[in-house]
Amino acid sequence: MTGCSSLRYTAGSHCLSTPCWRISSKKSCCRLCFGCVPCDGRVENGLEGSGYGSWGPRHQCLPVLGCHHGRAADKMPSAGHLQAPALRVRSSQVSAGRPREREALAAVPLFQPQNLREDQVLSLEGRPGDLTCKSQRLMLQVGLIHPASPGCYHLLPYTVRAMEKLVRVVDQEMQAIGGQKVNMPSLSPAELWRATSRWDSMGKELLRLRDRHGKEYCLGPTHEEAITALVASQKTLSYKQLPVLLYQVTRKFRDEPRPRFGLLRGREFYMKDMYTFDSSPEAARRTYSLVCDAYGSLFDRLGLQCLQVQADVGSIGGTMSHEFQLPVDVGEDRLALCPRCSFSANVETLDLAQTNCPACQGPLTETKGIEVGHTFYLGTKYSSIFNAQFTNVHGKASLAEMGCYGLGVTRILAAAIEVLSAEDCIRWPGLLAPYQVCLIPPKKGSKEEAAAELTGHLYDHITEAVPQLRGEVLLDDRTHLTIGNRLKDADKLGYPFVIIAGKRALDEPAHFEVRCQNTGEVVFLTKRESWNY
Ligand SMILES: [Zn+2]
């Protein structure tokens, strides 16, 4: 086992594989890899066989398909990387052999990969000028999303798979710093918002409604009020229990005046919001750095180069705030960066006339960015209103020091596609690709049709031999289509690896064409080689 050079270890991670569930105190597995061999192939949340990476002291890291996060070719595994360590699996894992159910396309008549022309996509959106960026166009073209109403999209099956993977990575990072997951109602009573005066100050962005009794609600865009009231209801909170870090990944609502850029600026979207409660300002600042570091780690693992910039506190409030910005032209935020020192800020926070760095006086440069995360140090702004208290070391009641931390989950997905994709082909962060491998058997009625059965065997073998690929291999059995057409779809959809049973599948021994879509490398592997994986 050579391991990969980018291995990074972490202490104190949760082990996500049942039956472990423990927090590992030891240095454990590679966090950049696609995954490690799970204890027994089971992973949490009923996502059995989904192949998500997991780590823990008992897991051995296999740098299979790993580290192809990001777009830089030098980060990609070479074909050699794929052949060698990926396929070296302990014999005990390959011995037990009943065939698994294959994930295939032909049996799923609805929501197949699409390859729509730009004019067909435009008619989907319904309004001219609504196709505003690359990620939106590509996601519509291949059938990842479908417009429902302005700023609202149906997330189709591939997108849901990618989203679930993203949520999994977010969960890993939040739980690694002690975050506990909750789930709060989207319906948020008006009286909570009146208590903080935000019922009025949020203005038209707040989507408001009334129930049959005339009681007023909003559909939550954020949950400072709700979570603070929840924590305040826990009357016995002691300083010994702090810090408390609570987070959720839920749908949020914002009545955007002009929704655009597909999933980048919608009216209904997924957000991860974390709220933290500490016993002192110093402790709260430590928690703040901890969460910012976790965000850094998350974006590293996704292969996204994010900037942490000084930001305005806006309607959330507090005394310190940072945004995590992904630099890209379509971004709506203007960022000022100092090439000399590490200063970076959203221009909103600077004086209009300011052209020099406030830290070193060097000239500032400007770039555009998509905000994918936002952190706020809130102090006691909300805890003082809802009386969120704890018993301090002297036995006296004391107000909790709070922070809140958002991540735009659907936005990260779209922004990653925006940044990583080519003009005509989607490219995903390796961790998020809906399927890792697409297997293309020969066309029905073609000379190579005899190799169809071999492809099925290869599918069974790969998913049997490489546990982290269970549920990650898709058989494109739309055999009425040519290999070329299916390869075109596969390239557009961005599966990291495509395996084709073409002409050389009839060789003795048969050879399969393995394409690494991120590097463009192509190698031919025999069935014997695949059996030795
Ligand atoms: Zn500077």
Per residue in 150-182, pLDDT tens?
A: 899 999 999 999 999 999 999 999 999 999 999
Q: Is the dihedral of CA 116, 120, 122, 125 positive or negative?
A: negative
Residue 45's pLDDT is 31
* Span from the CA of 376 to the centroid of ligand 1 (angstroms): 23
129 compared with 518, residue with greater pLDDT: 518
Pair (362, 222) in one structural domain: yes
CA-to-CA distance for 433 and 149, rounded, in angstroms? 26
Pair (322, 385) in one structural domain: yes
Look at residue 370 and tell me if it is in a domain.
yes
Residue 91's pLDDT is 31
Pair (438, 413) in one structural domain: no
Residue 112's pLDDT is 72
DSSP for 97-141, please give it. --PPPPEESTT--SS------HHHHHHHH-STT---SHHHHHHHH
Pair (490, 357) in one structural domain: no
326 compared with 7, residue with greater pLDDT: 326
* Span from the CA of 356 to the centroid of ligand 1 (angstroms): 8
Please identify, among 364, 396, 419, the residue that sits at the C-terminal boundary of a domain. Answer: 419
Pair (383, 451) in one structural domain: no
* Span from the CA of 359 to the centroid of ligand 1 (angstroms): 5
What CATH number does the domain containing 260 carry? 3.30.930.10
Please report where in the chains the tokens 């940072």 appear, as a residue. Answer: 322
Look at residue 140 and tell me if it is in a domain.
no
* Span from the CA of 336 to the centroid of ligand 1 (angstroms): 10
What CATH number does the domain containing 467 carry? 3.40.50.800
* Span from the CA of 342 to the centroid of ligand 1 (angstroms): 6
* Span from the CA of 47 to the centroid of ligand 1 (angstroms): 47
**Chain mean pLDDT for the chain:** 80
Residue 126's pLDDT is 65
Residue 459 has pLDDT above 60, yes or no: yes
CA-to-CA distance for 486 and 35, rounded, in angstroms? 28
* Span from the CA of 335 to the centroid of ligand 1 (angstroms): 14
Report the domain count for the chain: 2
pTM for the structure as a whole: 0.81
CB atoms near residue 393 (< 10 Å): 10
Question: 81-137 pLDDT, tens per residue?
Answer: 222 222 222 233 333 444 457 888 766 656 777 778 777 777 777 665 566 789 999
Q: How confident is the model at residue 276 (pLDDT cuts 50, 70, 90)?
A: very high
Look at residue 424 and tell me if it is in a domain.
no
Pair (264, 298) in one structural domain: yes
Look at residue 24 and tell me if it is in a domain.
no
Q: What is the CA radius of gyration of the chain?
A: 25
Residue 116's pLDDT is 80
Question: 25-53 pLDDT, tens per residue?
Answer: 333 333 333 333 333 333 333 233 333 33
Residue 100's pLDDT is 55
Residue 365 has pLDDT above 50, yes or no: yes
* Span from the CA of 355 to the centroid of ligand 1 (angstroms): 11
What is the arithmetic mean of pLDDT over 261-270?
A: 93
What is the arithmetic mean of pLDDT over 467-475?
A: 89
Look at residue 103 and tell me if it is in a domain.
no
Please identify, among 419, 445, 477, the residue that sits at the C-terminal boundary of a domain. Answer: 419
Look at residue 521 and tell me if it is in a domain.
yes
* Span from the CA of 364 to the centroid of ligand 1 (angstroms): 7
What range defines the domain where residue 499 resides? Answer: 430-531
- Whole-number Cα distances in Å, 321 to 192, 310, 344, 402: 23, 6, 13, 13
* Span from the CA of 296 to the centroid of ligand 1 (angstroms): 21
Pair (414, 478) in one structural domain: no
* Span from the CA of 311 to the centroid of ligand 1 (angstroms): 16
Pair (435, 415) in one structural domain: no
Pair (405, 471) in one structural domain: no
Residue 313's pLDDT is 82
* Span from the CA of 353 to the centroid of ligand 1 (angstroms): 16
Pair (412, 519) in one structural domain: no
* Span from the CA of 504 to the centroid of ligand 1 (angstroms): 59
CA-to-CA distance for 513 and 439, rounded, in angstroms? 10
Pair (191, 224) in one structural domain: yes
Look at residue 207 and tell me if it is in a domain.
yes
Residue 156 near residue 148, CB atoms below 8 Å? no
Q: How far apart are the first and last CA of the chain?
A: 13
- Whole-number Cα distances in Å, 5 to 9, 35, 75, 81: 12, 15, 10, 12
Residue 528's pLDDT is 62
* Span from the CA of 338 to the centroid of ligand 1 (angstroms): 5
* Span from the CA of 297 to the centroid of ligand 1 (angstroms): 25
Look at residue 376 and tell me if it is in a domain.
yes
Please identify, among 389, 419, 449, the residue that sits at the C-terminal boundary of a domain. Answer: 419
Residue 288 near residue 403, CB atoms below 8 Å? yes
* Span from the CA of 326 to the centroid of ligand 1 (angstroms): 20
* Span from the CA of 72 to the centroid of ligand 1 (angstroms): 28
* Span from the CA of 190 to the centroid of ligand 1 (angstroms): 44
Question: 300-356 pLDDT, tens per residue?
Answer: 999 999 999 999 888 777 789 999 999 998 888 999 999 999 899 999 888 888 889
12 compared with 211, residue with greater pLDDT: 211
Pair (259, 292) in one structural domain: yes
* Span from the CA of 406 to the centroid of ligand 1 (angstroms): 27
* Span from the CA of 144 to the centroid of ligand 1 (angstroms): 42
* Span from the CA of 324 to the centroid of ligand 1 (angstroms): 19
